[in-house]
Amino acid sequence: MSAEGTAPVRRRDSGRSRELLLEAAAELFGERGYDRTTTREIGERAGVDPALIARYYGGKAQLYIAVMRAEQGDTTPADLLAPERLRELLARVAHRGPGPVFRAAALPHDDPVVQDAARAQLHSRLVSPLCEHFTREGLDRPQLRAEVAVAAFVGVVLARNGGAFDELAAAGPEELFELVHDLLGGTLPNG
């Protein structure tokens, strides 16, 4: 208390609060996935009021997308036909579940801003690197080929978590790797 008997005014550092929320969200989304992480848990881990998620990011989906942007940085990820990239994505989705970016490929988000951001991430992280790969290979219609391949991959990811396919849901990422790689590689012509 100050000399006048009133509590001192605590100043909020919005930049630091944003940073703490981003770090906490990255940890929790990594540990539990998008669906199993609540805004309350993110706020608790960050040590800030969870209402600040809406204030600074607009909501949980927008925070998830901000985490993805921060993780990617300025680097262009490898394409889906690169074995290490495909393995990493299959393992990540098996652990975290499909987030808003994968879902944007199948169902539009209620919020058009979130949908646009998720769509942009889907294209920059998956479609564009694959389109570049197909362009380097001299294949016709590389954009369409990339979109078909990504749609097939996202379909497998969403179906694996949808509960309609028991064996697909039970398969581990490494079991799926060869099958998915062969499926995606089928977008290339033989010979």
CATH number for position 19 = 1.10.10.60
Span 112-153, pLDDT tens digits = 877 888 888 899 989 999 999 999 999 999 999 999 999 999
In the chain, pLDDT over 70 holds for what percent of residues? Answer: 90
Judge if 99 and 15 occupy the same domain. no
C-beta separation of 107 from 166 below 8 A: no
Q: Which domain holds residue 142?
A: 76-191
User: 2 in a domain, yes or no?
Assistant: no
Span 9-49, pLDDT tens digits = 445 688 899 999 999 998 888 788 788 899 999 999 999 99
pLDDT at 3 over 80: no
Judge if 66 and 122 occupy the same domain. no
User: 113 in a domain, yes or no?
Assistant: yes
The number of domains in the chain is 2
56 Cβ partners below 8 Å, 6+ apart? 14, 17, 18, 21
* Residue that is last in its domain, among 74, 91, 108: 74
Q: How far is CA 56 from CA 52, 116, 140, 168, in A?
A: 6, 18, 43, 38
